[in-house]
Amino acid sequence: MKSISGLTFIFSLLFNTVYAQIIFENQIGSEFCYEEAIGVRYMGTDDIFVSASYNCSGGIAGWNSFMLQFDDNGDTIFTEKNTLHNGIIDNSQNGNLFFGGGNSAGFVYDSLRVIKLSSSLTKIWQYDTLLPICNNQITALKATPDGGVVFSAIYSFATCNQPLYNSLLIKLNADGEKEWAYSLEGALNDQIHDIEYVENEGYYLSGWSNSQSGTGIVEVFAAKIDLQGNEVWQNTYGFIENSYAYGITIVEDSGIYITGYTSSVFVVKLDFSGNLSALYPFGNACGGTFMKISHTPDNGLVFLSRVNNNGICRSVFTKTDLSGQVIWQKEWEAVLRDFDYVNDSSFILTGNINHLPDILLIRFDSTTLPGYIPTDTTSVEEHLIDNVYSVSFIKEQHALYIKSDNYHFSNAAIKVFDFQGRQIMSSKIHPDNQFYPLPPNSAVGIYFYQIVTENRPKTESGKLFIY
């Protein structure tokens, strides 16, 4: 596991009034079939492509491919079923479409298939590869400026019923020929789930692994691969809980942002050398692999996650600034898998809804019509908004740094608890002392603190990352 230096932990969720309008929210499906959208791309005016699959007969063999095109109002232009292409979708700058799926339209394949289509939807080439054993799945696919594509895939090297997964990253040129492959292998699970390309640098990868910890705990995985497929660096980042990571985005002059979940949805920030620098938690997680993050033109972040809100799992689309402060959130009782930009403030999202699922296609604009969208506050208490004390962890002293401009409260004390609720520290707060040592054997992870004062009715609380 990568050693951590200079890490800051920030936990801040407030109520936010934003402006949002649902432009359309369409369900597409038939009464007796399963229809599920996988990916969406906005290609320009009246040109929204959705990659989907459907099953009307049941069983794995019953899945078939389904491609749909919509105009900017969400009206269907055409649909095409039972094509050779299926799975994840991406587009190139010149209008070509890439699909990354398999030899059937299910989500797990005997072999993997990548298809390149022209802007008129004519097949240019098809690349098939058979990976070891079973449970093959393409997890991410990115068009590259040279007209080619890079994709990641996982495959089981254990039994099909009790799989353990290794990963591959494969680069194809503009003619569909393999240029190189990068392997991620270990004794347990080593899964790549997203790719971000940076011009003249290479590829940044995100995912998760439990091969590296030595204890079987799941850790965040990240790596940088150069343009020739050589590994520049690879790190894992472990916390107290299993930590599953999926989406990745790059912000120039800021760092690498990865989204995933433990018991909470999180975004972690890395520097460009792979050092962990910040961790931002958001709400109670509801699992799932459909997590994606992107840098916005106004220098923010948007990401898709699954959140447990009062016992109901919902898909939540969140916008934050680069320091993790929530700007707005929107949630749906649906399973959303992908999103794309229409413009700076308007987004297209797709997935499925209902038990016998229909395809769900949503377009909303975050700036056009006054409305109220509450952010998720299931993991934060109201009194955090007016805290008197600022609490942070200082690695060099292995101590808490407590600061306040208002020390007029008498008999203030801080208590720190680990993730299991066990108290590890208790200390009175003194105006002339800002550093409070922690036990030397404190494990790396998330901790909770409470500050109680004798003549103040509110108890302050928050989270810390100790490393």
Per-residue pLDDT tens over the stretch 234-248: 999 987 789 999 999
Q: Is residue 3 part of a domain?
A: no
CATH of the domain at 462: 2.60.40.3080
Residues 79, 154: one domain?
yes
Asked if residue 457 and residue 356 are part of one domain, the reply reads: no
Domain ends where: 315, 340, 370?
A: 370
Residues 124-139 have pLDDT tens digits of 999 988 776 677 889 9
Using CB atoms within 10 A of its CB, is residue 201 exposed (0-12), middle (13-18) or buried (19+)? middle
Task: Tell me which H or E stretch contains 463.
Answer: strand 460-466
In this structure, are 222 and 348 located in the same domain?
yes
Q: Over the range 35-47, which residues count as b (16 or more CB within 10 Å of their CB) and which as e?
A: bbbbbbbbeeeeb
Tell me, what's the pLDDT at 410?
59
Beta bridge partners of 462: 449
For residue 1, tell me if it sits in a domain.
no
- Host domain of residue 301: 8-370
pLDDT tens per residue across span 176-198: 999 999 999 999 999 999 999 99
- Predicted local confidence at residue 42, as pLDDT: 94
Domain count, the chain: 2
* pLDDT above 80 for 406: no
Our measurement of the distance from residue 246's CA atom to the centroid of its chain's CA atoms, rounded to an integer in Å, reads 5
Domain ends where: 370, 390, 408?
370
Boundary of a domain, candidates 311, 343, 370: 370
Measured distance CA(296)–CA(119) in Å, rounded: 26
Q: At 244, which amino acid appears?
A: Y
Q: Are residues 431 and 337 in the same domain?
A: no
pLDDT tens digits, one per residue of 331-384: 899 999 999 998 767 899 999 998 889 999 999 887 643 333 333 333 333 333
Predicted local distance difference test score (pLDDT) of residue 388? 72
Domain assignment present for 375:
no
**3-state helix, strand and coil shares in percent for the chain, rounded to the nearest 5:** 0, 55, 45
HEC readout, 90-144: EECCCCCEEEEEECCCCCCECCEEEEEECCCCCEEEEEEECCCCEEEEEEEEEEC
Same domain for 318 and 413, yes or no, is no
Which segments of 248-317 does DSSP mark as H helices, in order? none
